[in-house]
Structure 1
Amino acid sequence: MKFARARFAAALFVLSSCAPRAYICRPASNRDYLPRLKEIIKGAKEKLYISQLYFHMDEITRPLVFLLNEAVDRGVDVRCILEDSVSYNAEALPLLKRIGVEARPDSGDIFSHSKFVVADGEKVIVGSTNLSSTSIDRNNETNVFIKDKKLGQWFEEYFMAMWNGDAFPGSVTSGSVTTVETSFADEALIGMFERAKERIALLIYGIKIYPGEKENPVMKVIYALFAAADRGVKTGAVMEKSDYNDTLNKMTDDAAEYFRSRGVDVSFDNEKIITHAKLAVADDTVMIGSSNWGYGGFELYREANIVIKDEALAKYFYKYFLMVKEQGAAK
């Protein structure tokens, strides 16, 4: 494990010093997600792999089934892995199989929470959006679209590792993007917070704190955040305030109080809008993906996250953070 963590730290060092190169990495958040997803499906020529928590059949997602059917008809190898414990998938999996998609539940041993689609080992959309009308058409969600062969190949290998039950690939860097190995989101966040000099902005959907457990990965991330605040970095977080999930609210209330006690500015989103985004911005670096701030999200689950060192994208997502914060202030 020490070797693996050292390897990941080395990848982040490469990211911090790499030169720009020709590739595409663009935001695909909120209502921009669906058009980009459709574009990826329609453009797939050989392979299309989908890893999702669930595929809820509704007015927004059912048209995607027709697009997947068309992809199968033109000879694309379409595969889909869904989390076996989610009830929605009991309807989705048989339907996908009927149209020729190789669809299966995950192994059941590990909770699959990753949310990405990769086409032809080159085009990827990854982030927080689930395949449901609520997530796609109403929530605050953060995602990016990537077009890059090295990164696309990594996501394809990651998917096939889940498919075959093989070992997961180590992280790779291409241009300004580094993939984050499953169970290494905490290491990525700690590295970002330790390097931050001016500001850290966080959107947090789910968080569970473990006061007193110094070796808990969640607490290590939180301590790194507090250390940044102590050295004068402007630190802020917007957390989800639900209008129906009291359990979630209790956890975010506890975390907000704890953060505020150490000088982190915390506010809540508008409870009429679900902020399901998982976002960290530290100066010119961004982390996007599926991991919530919990022991499961940092250590146990199958997750998909990336770290991007790009000033323009960091500015975009910081403005996105401010938008969500303003939504909360306007409630």
Structure 2
Amino acid sequence: GDGNVVTTEIVGEGKHPYAIALSDRVMMAWATSDSIVIANIDPGTWDYSTVSITPLTEPNHPLLTYSLTDGKVITVWTAVNVDEDVYYAIIDPGTSPSDQPSVIEQGVLISWTGDQEAHGLTSSSVNQWLVVFKDYSDGEEDLKALIVLPDSEYVGDEGIKLFFLPRDGEAYLDFIVNDLLENAQNEILAAVAYWRGTQIPNKLVEKKAAGLDVKVIMDDSASNSDARSILEGGGVEVIDDDNTDYSMHDKFVVVDSSRVLAATVNFIEDDFTKNNNTAIYIESKALAYFFKGEFNHMWAGNFHTDKYEDHSFLTFINYQGRVITIEGYFCPQDYGDKNRVANVIASYISSSTSNVRLAHYIFTTGWAVQPIISAIEYAKSNGVDVKAVFDHWMNLDTNGRAAYELLDAGADVAFSLHKYSLHAKIFSMDDTVAVIGSLNPTTTGVTKNDEYVLIIRDPDATNGIAKQVADYITALFNKYYSTTWTATYPVINEVMFYPDNSGTPTYEWVEIYNPTNEDIDLTLYRIGDIDNVFSDDEGLYAFPEGAVLPANSYIIVAYDASAFYEVYDFKPNYEIVDSDPTVPNMVKVLTDKFTGDWNLDDSGDEVLLIKASPYDPEFLIVVDAAWYGTSTYLSNPVDVGGISEGWSIERQEAGLDAPYAGTVFLLNQNPTPIPEEYVALVVLITVAAVIITLVLKREFKA
């Protein structure tokens, strides 16, 4: 108080001193070449006593914090020039300044790939503290925090259940109806985007009639109308997001404030029985508390960017003798760090050392999810085993998709080659970290839609949650991975893009092939020379009502049927301009978005075969695409350099497909459009040959 400065000298080696003041003493930490020294200093006498934490290798920059709750001191430091990890120790300072401090425990706190340096420390107890550190694991300097929290919630050996669909589809539906809902006592809160079918709505009506508080939030989608009628007809309260631009895309149920079902699964039959999905059930009051908070916030009318509460959480579950850490995040994140969810997921990916697995319905290249893509590419470049599986309907042959960024970076990528959907939204890192949620990694998903994400850290790398997720993804990858395959969907087989030097589309045509054994209804199909599914200055055309592509057959869409007949002496199946009254016309659609007309560029362009959603005609899915020459639609276009007029591009084999058009298309100097009657003739000849063979065999045996 009188302005005097008192000094004392501590003899010996030391660097990087750090001191804190307690009510009766000063405590100081410093580093030597092989230890961290902690000292009690009596401000009355300036005497001191020390304890050394040894043996260490080049420790640096110790930090100290004191916990008033339990009277202990925590110290953290960084080992430099060795592993650049962060270490910690808990110190008992003793009851008086003259006591020698003692070490209660010590160990490694943060040990990730790359370097970490501790820079900040605070605590409320030895069980609750926070370390701020710099992390260089992704090659950049990132500021991160590690939070240490106490205790864990015991959930019992049956308190967590994992479901992988469609394998577990029947068991999953039975669990929802006959366990989760049937055993509910007081309250059922369901926030699930899409509903079709009667079993779950009827069970909810039954529980409402039994006196339970039952509330449902769903997306504002016409496809939900039948289920909503059942629910509201039975007295269940139902609301939606009243928004056709964005989605209430959550898929979770909270029962009795203690049970949570979180899934990638909608309440529709295909998601249970046909589509690839994942769900997790957890008995946890902590988890239920935060999910219920998010539900109630939406129930009050706060959807999408109107949300102003953050219900993200961190909780610890004691399950089968091990502690599982669960982080939870809710979207949209349309304020502050809009990349928060993506950055968190990316941090786990970039810190992986062994393997990364991912399976996704749709994964775009939007700015909000670029950190995840960059982290995957970084992990791949560091020798981490990366395997990715994507739904082929939403990703194959579609620009703006992460699948192609990863393919271009050399990652192993597979597409789900079945007629249904890979609807999962999951990651696994090093068999110990799993990400499960409703969130498709897209900018809209992160910043506009109502979504949830769980990041689950399970130390059991043998059969824990993350390991099971990894095994599920790996099995999908092994089933579908191939550099080429026979398509299970209609494909563009041949494109006449350069019929002459006129620059007009008069003699242009496209041949489409159905490689399946089933007729394909073309009612929802479109074709265009557009370069994306949102808007373009070129044209998009729908097939006329009743159009069908027969099994194992070809159809031809010509720009001008009369011009086509002039060259090939037979008529195409459809035409874009009305030149022949006997040939059905394609119908120009969505002209407010696709404002131009068909005209393929001789030097480079693309042709897209598209399917519209039955529930939203403006939601377009690329079924197949052919791109060539100077087109930048995707990488590896068909090389058409040096060709002359009259050439086409054609698949090497009918139905052969691959991620890149340049892999499967060849130049054809003599275009060969196939008339429908030719296919019928081939089929007839084949059948006749089989019959003759059978007759001859029978005669021979006789």
Q: Same fold (TM over 0.5)?
A: yes
Structure with the bigger percentage of strand: 2
| 2:190 paired with 1:50 | yes
Deviation of 1:272 after TM superposition, in Å, equals 3.0
Amino acid corresponding to residue 191 of structure 2 in structure 1? S
For the Cα contact (< 8 Å) 1:201–1:280, is it kept in 2? yes
- Matched residue, 2:205: 69
Q: For the Cα contact (< 8 Å) 1:50–1:118, is it kept in 2?
A: yes
Which residue pairs with 1:167 in the alignment? 308
Which residue in 1 is equivalent to 2:427? Answer: 280
Secondary structure at 2:392 match in 1:
coil
Alignment equivalent of 1:192, drawn from 348, 354, 357:
348
1 or 2 for the larger relative contact order (CA 8 Å, sep ≥6)?
Answer: 1
CA contact (8 A) 2:164 2:279 kept: yes
Aligned to 1:298: 446
Match of 2:328 in 1: 179
1:18 to 1:222, Cα distance in 2 relative to 1, 3 A? farther
* 1:255 aligns with one of 389, 392, 402: 402
Correspondence for 2:475 among 320, 323, 326: 323
Structure 1 residues 12 and 319 mapped into 2: Cα distance closer, same or farther (>3 Å)?
Answer: farther
SS in 2 for 1:322: helix
**8 Å Cα contact 2:387-2:477 kept in structure 1:** no
Instruction: Give the AA of the match of 1:172.
Output: F
Matched residue pairs, number? 309
Query: Match of 1:124, SS?
Result: strand
CA contact (8 A) 1:238 1:324 kept: yes
Matches of 1:95 and 1:307, distance apart in 2: 35
Shift of residue 11, structure 1, vs aligned partner: 11
Name the one with the larger helix percent. Answer: 1
8 Å contact from structure 1 (residues 118, 125) kept in 2: yes
Relative distance call for 1:169 and 1:10 in structure 2 (3 A) is farther
Percent same amino acid at aligned positions?
23
CA deviations over 1:134-164 (Å, ceiling 9, x no partner): 0111111011001100001111111011110
Partner of 2:289: 153
Which residue matches 1:124? 260
Give 1:292 shift. 1.0
Partners of 1:309 and 1:252 in 2: how far apart? Answer: 33
Note closer, same or farther for the CA distance 1:103–1:268 as it changes in structure 2 (3 Å cut): same
TM-score normalised by the chain length of structure 2: 0.42
Q: Which runs of 5+ in 1 are unaligned?
A: 1-5, 211-215
1:65: how far off?
2.2
Selected match of 1:78 from 191, 214, 217: 214
CA contact (8 A) 1:12 1:178 kept: no
Partner of residue 270 from structure 1, selected from 414, 417, 420: 417
RMSD: 2.6
Secondary structure at 2:362's aligned position in 1?
coil
Q: Which amino acid aligns with 1:45?
A: Q
Q: How far is 1:188 from its partner?
A: 2.8
When residues 70 and 28 of structure 1 are mapped into structure 2, their CA distance, relative to the original with a 3 A threshold, is: same
In structure 2, the partner of 1:213 is none
Residue 142 of structure 1 aligns to a residue whose secondary structure is strand
Distance 1:300 1:41, change over 3 A: same
Counterparts of 1:256 and 1:19, CA distance in 2: 41
Shift of 1:248: 4.4
Which contiguous aligned blocks of 4+ residues in structure 1 show a shift greater than 4 angstroms? Answer: 9-12, 17-21
Could you say which residue in structure 1 is the equivalent of 2:248? Answer: 112
Q: CA deviation at 1:260?
A: 2.0
Of 367, 386, 395, the match for 1:235: 386
